[in-house]
A and B are shown apart, each in its own frame.
Chain A
Amino acid sequence: SQKIEQNSEALNIQEGKTATLTCNYTNYSPAYLQWYRQDPGRGPVFLLLIRENEKEKRKERLKVTFDTTLKQSLFHITASQPADSATYLCANADSGYALNFGKGTSLLVTP
């Protein structure tokens, strides 16, 4: 089955900088990848989806890329703010019904 890997180390950046989070997959190229945000004590919230044939997707300050050669998706937050501090999860649909999540990367944006 597909394995989704995210950097387990927390990412600390300064306010105003661009945060870049990585999601790697190990086997076949997934048809799409989803990105979620999770705040402490809350359930994940959907942010963006990118399909295999899309190189890039944007939504306000968020940008996601999909590189099938590197088997990797990058998630960027430009002009980051302390309110962006959260854990970000990458996921793909393994069985066609349920999502297969990575362990998430914690982002801390300091003023």
Chain B
Amino acid sequence: NAGVTQTPKFRVLKTGQSMTLLCAQDMNHEYMYWYRQDPGMGLRLIHYSVGEGTTAKGEVPDGYNVSRLKKQNFLLGLESAAPSQTSVYFCASRPEGGAYNEQFFGPGTRLTVL
């Protein structure tokens, strides 16, 4: 099993450009998450999904959109990138069931917005 994979690993954007980050998991997990991690801020939840076709806002959703058309994929979109979105983005998934289930994280995408 590959676990949780993220594409791309690195990306540099100019202000105003758009892009989509792809997260894929092969563990048949119901729940998927997008976090961003900034120095001194820790991991902050952007959006999450509790099943195919569902999405919900997290702590810092502004400037991002998400879609979960297939159970195994969770896409994070930036419609008009801003320098404040420079960050490392992590995707995670976990199985359905108790909220205490551990989350499985991908390797991250390092995004720089100039």
Contacts and interface: CB of A to CB of B under 8 A. Distances in A.
B106 to A, nearest CB: 5
The SS class assigned to the B binding surface is strand
A81 B15 CA distance: 44
Interface stretch (A16-24, A38-46, A57-65, A68-76): A38-46
A98 B48 contact: yes
Given A97-B48, A101-B43, A45 B100 contact: no
Interface string B61-94: 0000000000000000000000000000010100
Interface string A13-57: 000000000000000000110100000011111100101000000
12 contacts: A8-B40, A34-B100, A34-B102, A41-B107, A43-B4, A43-B90, A43-B92, A43-B106, A45-B105, A46-B104, A93-B99, A97-B56
Interface size class for chain B?
A: 20 to 34
Given A31-B100, A43-B92, A45-B105, A98 B45 contact: yes
Interface of B: 4, 31, 33, 40-45, 48, 50, 56, 58, 90, 92, 99-100, 102-108
Nearest to B41: A103
A34 B104 CA distance: 12
